[in-house]
Amino acid sequence: MSRARFLPLIIFGLLVAAGVWRLATPKDDRVASQLEGQKLPVFALPPALPGKPGLTSADLATGTPRLVNIFASWCVPCAAEAPVLMQLKRQGVPIDAIAIRDKPEDVAAFLAQYGDPFTRIGGDQRSQVQIALGSSGVPESFVVDGKGVIRAQHIGPIMEQDVPGILQAMEEAR
């Protein structure tokens, strides 16, 4: 007999420890794209608004790394990210965008209000290219190298503290 009677207590202790651990280290809910290291799927998006070219996968395989920003005018953190994107643009990072589920007039208003760092903006009104890229929300950004291979993904808005990481990823994509 004897020591077996502590078994339920030990099991209970392990369950409590598991609970405490998970409370201290919350699960990361973000779903990353599995396409890192792979070539971009072929796509061709029309312009998200008049006056800007649309975006195709061929535009992202021109020999220099580019940053692809997945955003929407109705996305609040995208507004927070806008000044950082302008800063990256000033530092010489070429940025293209995909606007998710957006009307042209809303995209125009967003760019007028928050600035326009984008060379091209593709309109993805039914999220089909977003899904093809393995992106699960807005905003997200992909670093794509000169051959059209996805080298890095940043989930969520690019904030000040993320800039060095993005610049390094762009550098490594050369």
Partner 1 sequence: MLFFASPLFADSTLPPSRWANQQLPDPRQEAAATALMQEIRCLVCQGQSIADSDAELAGDMRALVRERIAAGERPEAVRQWLVERYGAWVSYRPPVEPLSWPLYAAPIALLLAGAWLLRGRFRRKA
Q: Which is nearer to partner 1, 2 or 29 (CB)?
A: 29
- CA 54 from centre of chain: 19
DSSP string, 69-101: EEE-TT-HHHHHHHHHHHHHHHTT--EEEEEES
Residue 10 binds partner 1 (CB under 8 A) = no
Smaller CB distance to partner 1: residue 67 or 94? 67
| Contacts for 4 with CB less than 8 Å, ≥ 6 apart | none
Site for partner 1 in 47-86 (CB under 8 A): 72, 74-77, 80
**Is 131 a residue that touches partner 1 (CB under 8 A)?**
yes
The yes or no reply on residue 155 touching partner 1 (CB under 8 A) is yes
Nearest approach in angstroms of CB 157 to partner 1 is 7
- In whole angstroms, give the CA distance from residue 165 to residue 171: 10
Could you give the angle at which helices 76-90 and 104-114 cross, rounded to 10 degrees?
60
* Residues at the contact surface with partner 1, assessed by CB under 8 A: 29-35, 72, 74-77, 80, 100-103, 106, 125-128, 130-134, 136-140, 155-157, 159
